[in-house]
Amino acid sequence: MQPINTFQAKAVALPIENIDTDQIIPARYLKVTDKNGLGEALFTDWRGEPDFVLNQAYAQGAGVLIAGHNFGCGSSREHAPWALQGFGFQAVISTYFADIFKGNALKNGLLPIVVDAATLARLTEQCLANQTIDVSVDLENQQVHVAGETISFPIDAFSKHCLLHGVDQLGYIQAQEAAIQAYEANHPARVNTVGA
Amino acid sequence: MAKTLFEKIWDAHVVQAADAESPATLYIDLHLVHEVTSPQAFTMLRERGLTVRRPDQTLATMDHSTPTTPRGADGIIPVTDEIARKQLNQLIQNCSDFGIPLYNLGTENQGIVHVIGPEQGYTQPGMTIVCGDSHTSTHGAFGALAFGIGTSEVGHVLATQCLLQQKPQTAEIRIDGTLRPGVTAKDIILAIIAKIGVGGGTGYVLEYTGSAIRALSMEERMTICNMSIEGGARAGLIAPDETTFAWLKDRPHTPKGEAWDAAVAYWRTLPSDEGATYDLQVVLNADELAPMITYGTNPGMGIPVTGNVPAPSDLADDSQRMALDKALNYMGLQPNQPLIGQKVDVVFLGSCTNSRISDLRAAAKLLDGKKVADGLRMLVVPGSQQVKRQAEAEGLDQIFRAAGAEWREAGCSMCIAMNGDQLQPGQYAVSTSNRNFEGRQGKGGRTFLASPLTAAATAINGHIVDVREIL
């Protein structure tokens, strides 16, 4: 994973709450065996509506999505962050994210930025009034600079470290090989799917 | 110190404890794999030259993109979708290359991953179980900590049998009382989600407690835990008890003899201790519950079947009002209208929520000697090949066929509509599945989630009915 720290991007607003991963990418696009081309299927059913935000000329090149509460609920499909990144998004702003989506996003370098409800309402309003707003993200300092204000956001220390340094989580677990072996030595397997 | 069921399982699986900088490393007892969320993880293993650490704790099946259409004269289930075939072949190759047992399409124990795990006795109390599928929460019915993961994490578990995990909070969902006739486990969980909302459980593991839960069968408990994710929860749990042990005994992969006795002795230590505390408590009374049905485009938009669709104008919050307005527009429903009498085009009986033998028996009992309404299509899709065989041994397939329903092979089918089993744009379905998201059962399709009883009653009448009136 490439390290990320600061980036500037244009934000667009999609002020709908509980956006589920079936909307982000419908299941009929999950028959692939790789990660390519999913950006084209992002919100594909909603993009059938000419008025949908991502169909607008001003939305092209957007890197931040300002969404409604509880973004990414539903299925565990990691195709959701892959599709958002395939379109060009680097971050999503919401009041909270579904647990599995959030974990998937962080592992792919898509930043889930959590803000309070009043801040989200303010950013959404400004974005809708101007079609887009310019956002500057500073992960090291956990800040978003937007429309003249600075907004702090939380992120767990480990995810932040991994994103800042491009640390691969699998490599981190593999480095615990001795502890895993010790655990297995003390805890016989509870099932055997191969034999039995 | 008094511990909850969740804390006992968690503590028993910590390989490396969390500290200020890092999450805990958790050991995974059982990893279930299917065709849709695993290919990219196997690709990662190959790119890095890694092996699967514990193929003996890994089990694969195919269910999501598999056809459920009847077998050909050669006994083989035909796969006509070339992209799906490529994905299924990729799983076969991956399992072969990495030594993972696979329940291949149409073989005797193949089926929906969350149906076959318990059925074969792989799912046991006190275990940690993961799968690249959000409905892994189903296995929590046995007192196992079971949750869905993404494809990156599938790769982590394949390579290390471990996961990095932030410790979730705990919530007790307490349901006391007695269910009335016509009210089922599905109605309990739809009522819970209607109460807490689709985001209400975010960050929590839910433990379902109370006399109404204790009275449920294992299959009903699976229905409850299955939809924990629809309330946003990381997992759902029900403490193991005599019902659990009796259901598991003599399953193909449960311990036998003295090992069984030792396992049961351990399982008896798992229920939450007297005085253990939760971060949140929600209470429902089973006596007050009615058959539930959803009217909108997420599982939290549910009402008693005799209720009226809510009106956006009654909501003060802007985003909630807009969401309801959007949902009703998609569903083609009017504010304040009743759902009783709503015409339905398709009834789907199936999915990891409600495709087990007891679900099929309940629906067949209502359909016995009756006909599906003119013009209505009913699909009955058993959760596994074993469920299918059992149903056929009991003659349930004949009841469904005689009623005019389609009797299918096992799989996820119209719950996720990846395999050609789907609604047409604008069609209404009453579905025993778990998600009514826009387009979930086919682009433009409109879903009412309900119990197998409500689904069967609707199929007979052609419109939504209160099943209590025909019992």
Domain residues for the domain of B63 are 5-165
CA distance B137 to B262: 26
Domain presence at residue B254: no
Give Cα A26 to chain centroid, integer Å. Answer: 17
Same domain, B434 and B309: yes
Distance CA A166, CA A172 (A): 12
Q: Which of A164, A157, A177 is nearest to B19 (CA)?
A: A157
Q: Are residues B281 and B366 in the same domain?
A: no
Instruction: Please indicate, yes or no, if residue A80 is contained in any of the structural domains.
Output: yes
Tell whether A193 is covered by a domain.
no
Facing B418 at nearest CB: one of A20, A27, A97: A27
- Are residues A103 and B122, on separate chains, in Cβ contact within 8 Å? no
- Check A193 against B122: CB less than 8 A apart: yes
Count structural domains, chain B.
Answer: 3
Residue of B nearest to A31 (CA): B84
Interface of A with B in 55-114 (CB under 8 A): 68-70, 73-78, 96-100, 103-104, 107-108
Q: How far is A95 from chain B (nearest CA, A)?
A: 11
B122:A104 CB<8 A:
no
B-facing residues of A in 26-45 (CB < 8 A) are: 26-28, 30-35, 45
Instruction: Judge if B439 and B302 occupy the same domain.
Output: yes
Buried b (16+ CB within 10 A) or exposed e, B198-221: bbbbbbbbbbbbbebbbebebbbb
CATH number assigned to the domain comprising residue A165: 3.20.19.10
Flag whether A160 is in a domain: yes
Kindly report, residue by residue over A106-131, the tens digit of the pLDDT: 999 999 999 999 999 999 999 999 99
CB spacing of A176 vs B15 below 8 angstroms: yes
Q: How many angstroms separate the CA of residue A144 from the nearest CA in chain B?
A: 23
B152-209 per-position pLDDT tens digit: 999 999 999 999 999 999 999 999 999 999 999 999 999 999 999 999 999 999 999 9
CATH code at B183? 3.40.1060.10
Q: Tell me, yes or no, whether B181 lies in a domain.
A: yes
Q: Is B76 domain-assigned?
A: yes
Residue A1 counted as domain residue: no
Does any domain span residue B252? no
The answer, yes or no, to whether residue A196 has pLDDT greater than 60, is no
Residues B384-403: pLDDT tens digits?
999 999 999 999 999 999 99
Tokens of A88: 């060009």
Cβ contact, residue pair B162, A78, below 8 Å:
no
Say if residue B94 is in the same domain as residue B43: yes
Per-residue pLDDT tens digits for B413-424 = 999 999 999 999
Indicate whether B361 and B418 sit together in one domain: yes
Q: Which of B64, B134, B150 sits opposite A107 (nearest CB)?
A: B150
Q: What is the DSSP secondary-structure string of A20-80?
A: BHHHHS-GGGTT-SSSTTGGGGTTTTGGGSTTSGGGSGGGTT--EEEE-SSBTBS---THH
Which of B19, B437, B441 best tests the A interface by mutation, with the highest count of A CBs <10 A? B437
Task: Indicate whether B306 belongs to any domain.
Answer: yes
A178 contacts in chain B (CB < 8 Å): none
pTM: 0.98
Give the chain A residue nearest B320 (alpha carbons).
A17
B454 in the same domain as B333: yes
Which residues fall within 8 angstroms of residue A170, CB to CB, at 6 or more apart?
B44, B152, B155, B156, B159, B160
pLDDT < 50 positions in chain B: none
Residue B237 CA to residue B10 CA, distance in Å, equals: 12
* Amino acid identity at A48: G
Contacting B residues, span 192-221, partner chain A, CB-CB under 8 Å: 198-199, 202-203
**Helices A79-87 + A99-107 axis angle, to 10:** 50
Query: Is the CB of residue A109 less than 8 Å from the CB of residue B182?
Result: no
Residues 6+ apart with CB under 8 A from B316: none
Chain B residues with CB under 8 Å of A28 CB are 417-418, 443
Question: Which member of B56, B326, B438 has the closest CB to residue A194?
Answer: B56
B408 and B272 in one domain?
A: no
Residues B379 and B442 in one domain: yes
Tokens at residue B446, please?
Answer: 């409109």
- Cβ contact, residue pair B36, A30, below 8 Å: yes
Chain A residues near residue B54 by CB distance under 8 angstroms: 189
Asked if the C-beta of B133 comes within 8 angstroms of chain A's C-beta atoms, the answer is yes
Q: Do A179 and B16 touch (CB under 8 A)?
A: yes
Which of B165, B200, B224 delimits the end of a domain? B165
Query: Is B383 a domain residue?
Result: yes
pLDDT of residue B61: 98
User: How many domains, chain A?
Assistant: 1
Is position A179 within any domain? yes
CB of A187 within 8 Å of a chain B CB? The answer is yes
B399 and B419 share one domain: yes
Q: Report helix, strand or coil for B243.
A: helix
Residues B68 and B184 in one domain: no
Cross-chain Cβ contact A23/B153 below 8 Å: no
Q: Does one domain contain both B303 and B390?
A: yes
- Provide φ and ψ at B114, rounded to 5°: -85, -5
Q: How far is CA B400 from the centre of its chain?
A: 23
Interface touch B54/A156, C-beta < 8 Å: no
Q: Chain B contact for A180, CB < 8 A?
A: yes
C-beta atoms of B55 and A194 within 8 A: yes
Q: Strand A91-94 to strand A64-67: parallel, antiparallel, or no bridges (unpaired)? A: parallel
Q: With beta carbons less than 8 A apart as the criterion, state whether A112 and B202 touch.
A: no
Structural domain contains residue B159: yes
Q: Are residues B280 and B302 in the same domain?
A: no
Among the partner-chain residues B56, B166, B168, the one whose CB lies closest to the CB of A192 is B56
CA distance to B218, B385, B397, B406, B411, per residue, from B390 (Å): 17, 9, 10, 17, 16
Domain hosting A128: range is: 6-186
